[in-house]
Structure 1
Amino acid sequence: MHLEKTRRRGSELEDAILDAAWQVLIELGYAGFTYEAIAARAGTSRPVLYRRWPQRDDLLLATLTRFWWSKPVELPDTGSLRDDVIGFLRNANSARAHILTMISVQLMDYFRASGTNFSELRDKLRVQNRPNSLETMLTRAVERGELPDRPRPDRVVSLPFDLLRHEMLMTMRPVPDDVITGIVDEVWLPLLNS
């Protein structure tokens, strides 16, 4: 009996390509993130990839969007800013610590080749005009009366996650819980209330 292989199309094919691209990126880094390697891993041809993503960076952005930014970190809503932020940082720590350090290393060649950095890449991938998690938690805290309604610099708002990410990158491992609570209790909340 002869079984004919069915041809993948549309979203099924795109899913297979992006799955393959993610695996190639994780295993080989940006230097190995080639149309040839991805097409071979996906079981398709290079022209199929070129039709969808004419530039390698287009494929990289699609891959990162699918596997990084499309899976947001769970945002707690406990009724307390402190508990929300600690819960959010714990969720980010458990969901992203390993992958953040690995991706940061794997993308170094991309940053060198493109002359960009992680911040610029994040801005390309971020959904525009949508508040980030920390902005959402601050808005809720203001609505509950925990904080006065006043403008806060973006750098202050993003500080807890920036410090968490810094710890991850400096230690190349998940951040201990006492460091997370220290970021919130000893740095961020006093800064917000000053």
Structure 2
Amino acid sequence: MASYYCPTAILTDAQKAPTTFSLAVPALSHSPLNNNSGTPITPATTLDLPLWLAEMLAVSRPSGPASAPLATLDMPSALGPKVMNALTADATSVELRQQAQWFYGLGERMLELFEDEEMGAVLLNTFKKRALEIADKAQNTRTAQQGGDSGDFMSGLDETERQLFRAAHDGTHTVKRWFEATSRG
């Protein structure tokens, strides 16, 4: 888990995760969490909540004889079977940014909460395959500027991959400038 003050961790934890309530929660009836603001949240209601809140509800237990957690955290659709199957079939064809802006961060957080070795293996394999393509594009893209997109390729990258692209691109150009400077002197 990243540092509490890390912007990446904060943005990752702000991503939505489906949360199913186990108990009625009448105090949230006039809340932005519940779109139907006149009705309390009832058992079996599923809401997409920020990951940090969903996790807190999933580990919290009410006082008294009930021992069930307030809610259960479900796997986000970005990490569901359809996406995992698509990544297994061809990791480079999936636009991860459409799934989740911080896809790998979300995957890491969900792996902390759920023991799913198969998902971990798929995510690792996906990152490896996509990193090769990202490195190749970063070295061979002349128009990419730091912080800028280079067309359709960048639009499908999650934020981690975009940072990797920028680092590889900037590193390549820094090495080229160094070689040019040392060859003149």
The answer, yes or no, to whether TM exceeds 0.5 is no
Structure having the higher helix fraction is: 1
Structure having the higher strand fraction is: 2
Where on the TM-score scale, by shorter chain, does this alignment land: which range?
under 0.3
Greater C-alpha radius of gyration: 2
TM-score w.r.t. the length of structure 1 is 0.26
Larger relative contact order (C-alpha < 8 A, sep ≥ 6)? 1
